[in-house]
Amino acid sequence: MNRLLAWAHARMPTRESLARNRLIAPLAARPELWRFTRRTVPRGVAIGLFIGIFLMVPGLQVIGAVLVCVPLRANIPIAAVSTFIAIPPTILLVILPGAAAIGNRFGYHADLSVITAMVERGASTAEWLAWVRSDAAPALAIGLTLMAIVVAALGYAVAACVWRWRVMARRRRRLHVRGGA
């Protein structure tokens, strides 16, 4: 785990390098969007999870998360990484079927077997669009919205608890070192 964090930290761009990019410079000038604090990290996790599940378009997820982070003063790197919950395997195996099942509970009909059949045969974009235009669209919209809200709330709570646990562990170590010295 420490090696992974060290690898990610070594490759993470600095605020100064981002400030040299004319598209990102306005965001780089706002340090609160890049700080890892007890408030910004859980917000970033929640935003990333919500956008990652709700948007499901790989290139637009990070852009959407960044745009939402600005007014909500959330951590941009954490939000960007959190969007990767929605990678193709999780979209096809968990998110779409889960959203369809949730939407079906509201009286709509999104047939899950049609999803698997279309994935197996490599359905065209036109076939996917026809399926979405059917009764599946409202089921998916409701399901994705509810799933994104619940997962984002859980992500916020878990991130806040982990943050608090780490702070308390550091404090216990610091007090133990002082008491033992």
Model confidence pLDDT, tens digit, residues 61-109: 988 998 999 999 999 989 999 999 888 888 878 998 899 899 999 988 8
Host domain of residue 158: 30-135+142-180
Domain contains 58: yes
Model confidence pLDDT, tens digit, residues 116-173: 788 788 889 898 888 878 888 889 899 999 999 999 999 999 999 999 999 999 899 8
Domain contains 80: yes
Domain contains 20: no
Query: What is the band of 58 on the pLDDT scale with cuts at 50, 70, 90?
Result: confident
Domain contains 2: no
Buried b (16+ CB within 10 A) or exposed e, 74-100: bbbbbbbbbbebbeeebbeeebbbbbb
**pLDDT higher than threshold 60 for residue 180:** no
Answer left, alpha or beta for residue 56, where phi above 0 means left and psi between -120 and 50 means alpha: left
Q: What is the pLDDT of residue 102?
A: 94
pTM of the model: 0.80
Domain contains 6: no
For the chain, what is the domain count? 1
CB 98 within 8 A of CB 85: no
**Separation between Cα atoms, residue 125 and residue 138, nearest integer Å:** 19
Q: What is the pLDDT of residue 150?
A: 97
Q: How many residues does the chain have?
A: 181
Domain contains 10: no
Query: What is the band of 53 on the pLDDT scale with cuts at 50, 70, 90?
Result: very high
Domain contains 103: yes
**pLDDT higher than threshold 70 for residue 181:** no
Q: What is the pLDDT of residue 13?
A: 66
Q: What is the pLDDT of residue 64?
A: 92
Domain contains 11: no
How many Cα atoms sit within 13 Å of 87 on the Cβ side? 6
**Separation between Cα atoms, residue 9 and residue 127, nearest integer Å:** 42
